[in-house]
């Protein structure tokens, strides 16, 4: 009699199996993983500190790594030295100096940092000895290495989405769960509150709130205020959907059974109602992360977000606001490419997850 039927694949395992079949989503997942790893190991991967500037290299173009010396012989990879003169428009024009070469050293000893904030370390993945400077992706107006700055900027731009989503989804799930579970007056009050937030266009609300933030905040404080403001705006739409779901979930018999076992309302909401909204929430979370990344970028772009010299993809891009700069130094648009890639990746993965987790969509397709 005590026969237990064979183990079924869990929902999560099924989703994973389906993602394996989706090449595009897989590629995006790998790309995202690379970006996040880049952000985590920014210290090691970067060649210079994000605020290490050298005005002699203002808008220095990306340097090509060379493996042939001036006589055409194969040597270890090096970058040539550069010098500049001014053209008729008093614009700097950089030339490579064939007589100076700076070999690229793997695990080069560069500036000091603490790995994960703990381990003192000085090695970097690559670098060249002073007085040479190596700009893999070019330099900005103050001669700071764009490659290093993009890596450091990824820390802010990529983490803001995750942290923001965690905050806004905790609020959204709880408010939606409570509103749907209790119904009546509680529901009414909470939902009208949600509508008040949804009524104001997000970007303007964000701007208005950002203005309240004191100007003397340091970058960490600004970062935190951005996260709080973004999640403050984001929770309402989720709360509405979760509320609708929990209205139907509270009628399930296991909720009655849990009540009959004397569990508290909060516990029933957390244990027996919200887990059933997970397949929706996971998709919604993935699809809303780009919103936070773009929100931060937009704020930083117009100068209300992260302040120089601390880089974020948004404020790196603010250098590219001007046609002349883009024309003569197109590489400063690179952070935009990274924003674009990240947003696309999250969207593709979100779509793939929806295909996996939403059974209704699947039957429609077949």
Partner 1 sequence: MDDLLWIKDLRVWVQDDLGPRELIKGVHLKVGAQKIVALVGGSGSGKTTAGLSILRLLAESMSIRGGEIVFEGHDLLKCSPRQMQELRGRDISMVFQEPLSAFNPVFTIGLQVFEVLRYHTKLSHGQIMERVEQLLLSVGLDNPSQVMRSYPHQLSGGMRQRAMVAQAIALNPKLIIADEPTSNLDVTLQAQIIELFRKLRDELKVSILLITHDMGVVRELADEMAVLFSGQVVEFGPTKDILSNPRHAYTSELVKILQ
Residue from 221, 264, 322, 361 that binds partner 1 (CB under 8 A)? 264
Q: Looking at beta carbons only, is 181 or 313 nearer to partner 1?
A: 181
Per the listing, tokens 């897989």 go with: 26
Q: Which stretch binds partner 1 (CB under 8 A): 55-63, 90-98, 153-161, 269-277?
A: 269-277
Residue from 5, 89, 360, 363 that binds partner 1 (CB under 8 A)? 5
**CA dihedral sign of residues 214, 217, 222, 225:** negative
The pair of structure tokens assigned to 273 is: 């109602």
CA dist., res. 1 & res. 3, Å (int)? 5
Q: Looking at beta carbons only, is 76 or 267 nearer to partner 1?
A: 267
Nearest distance, CB of residue 366 and partner 1, angstroms: 23
Backbone angles phi and psi of 84, in degrees to 5: -135, 155
Nearest distance, CB of residue 245 and partner 1, angstroms: 14
What does DSSP assign to residue 145?
B
Query: How many residues make contact with partner 1 (CB under 8 A)?
Result: 25
Contact call for residue 130 and partner 1 (CB under 8 A): no
Q: Looking at beta carbons only, is 141 or 264 nearer to partner 1?
A: 264
The pair of structure tokens assigned to 249 is: 């979930």
CA dist., res. 199 & res. 194, Å (int)? 9
Nearest distance, CB of residue 278 and partner 1, angstroms: 8
Contact call for residue 275 and partner 1 (CB under 8 A): yes
CA dist., res. 269 & res. 223, Å (int)? 32
Letters for 222-261 (x = contact with partner 1 by CB under 8 A, - = none) are ------------------------------xxx-xxxxxx
Total Cβ atoms within 10 A of residue 365? 7
Nearest distance, CB of residue 258 and partner 1, angstroms: 8
Q: Looking at beta carbons only, is 16 or 220 nearer to partner 1?
A: 16
Letters for 67-96 (x = contact with partner 1 by CB under 8 A, - = none) are ------------------------------
CA dist., res. 12 & res. 133, Å (int)? 48
Contact call for residue 272 and partner 1 (CB under 8 A): yes
Contact call for residue 16 and partner 1 (CB under 8 A): no
Whose CA is closest to 329, among 167, 56, 113, 92? 92
Whose CA is closest to 226, among 311, 295, 168? 295
Tell how strand 105-115 and strand 119-127 pair up: antiparallel
- Using an 8 Å Cβ cutoff, are 288 and 281 in contact? no
Q: Which stretch binds partner 1 (CB under 8 A): 5-13, 20-28, 86-94, 114-122?
A: 5-13
Contact call for residue 360 and partner 1 (CB under 8 A): no
Q: Looking at beta carbons only, is 196 or 266 nearer to partner 1?
A: 266
Nearest distance, CB of residue 268 and partner 1, angstroms: 10
Q: Looking at beta carbons only, is 95 or 252 nearer to partner 1?
A: 252
Task: Report the site for partner 1 in 191-220 (rule: CB under 8 A).
Answer: none
Total Cβ atoms within 10 A of residue 115? 12
Directed axis angle between helix 11-21 and helix 23-40, to 10°? 100
Find residue 359's DSSP bridge partners.
none
Find residue 93's DSSP bridge partners.
85
Residues at the contact surface with partner 1, assessed by CB under 8 A: 1-5, 7-8, 183, 252-254, 256-264, 267, 271-272, 275-276
């Amino acid at each position: 009699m005590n026969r237990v039927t064979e183990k079924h694949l869990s929902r999560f395992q099924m989703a994973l199996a389906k993602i394996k079949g989706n090449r595009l989503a897989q590629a995006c997942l790998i790309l995202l993983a690379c970006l996040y790893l880049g952000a985590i190991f920014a210290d090691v991967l970067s060649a210079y500190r994000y605020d290490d500037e050298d005005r002699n290299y203002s808008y220095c173009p990306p340097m090509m790594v060379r493996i042939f010396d001036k006589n055409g012989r194969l040597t270890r990879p090096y970058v040539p030295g550069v010098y500049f003169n001014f053209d008729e428009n008093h614009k700097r024009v950089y030339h490579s100096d064939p007589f100076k070469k700076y070999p690229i050293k793997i695990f080069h000893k560069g500036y000091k940092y603490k790995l994960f904030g703990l381990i003192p370390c000085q090695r970097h993945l690559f670098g060249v000895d002073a007085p040479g400077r190596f700009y893999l992706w070019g330099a900005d107006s103050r001669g700071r290495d764009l490659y290093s700055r993009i890596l450091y900027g990824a820390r802010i731009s990529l983490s803001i989405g995750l942290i923001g989503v965690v905050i806004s989804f905790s609020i959204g799930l709880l408010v939606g769960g409570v509103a749907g579970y209790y119904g009546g007056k509680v529901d009414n009050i909470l939902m009208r509150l949600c509508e008040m937030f949804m009524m104001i266009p997000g970007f303007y609300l964000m701007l208005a709130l950002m203005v309240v933030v004191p100007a003397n905040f340091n970058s960490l404080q600004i970062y935190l205020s951005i996260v709080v403001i973004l999640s403050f705006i984001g929770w309402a739409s989720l709360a509405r959907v979760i509320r609708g779901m929990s209205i139907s979930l509270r009628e399930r018999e296991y909720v009655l059974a849990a009540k009959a076992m004397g569990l508290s309302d909060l516990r029933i909401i957390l244990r027996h109602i919200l887990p059933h909204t997970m397949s929706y929430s996971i998709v919604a979370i993935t699809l809303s992360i780009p919103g936070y990344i773009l929100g931060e970028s937009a704020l930083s772009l117009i100068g209300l977000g992260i302040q120089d010299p601390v880089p974020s993809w948004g404020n790196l891009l603010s250098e590219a606001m001007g046609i002349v700069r883009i024309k003569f130094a197109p590489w400063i648009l690179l952070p935009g490419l990274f924003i674009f890639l990240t947003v696309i990746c999250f969207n593709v993965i979100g779509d793939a997850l929806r295909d996996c987790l939403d059974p209704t969509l699947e039957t429609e397709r077949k």
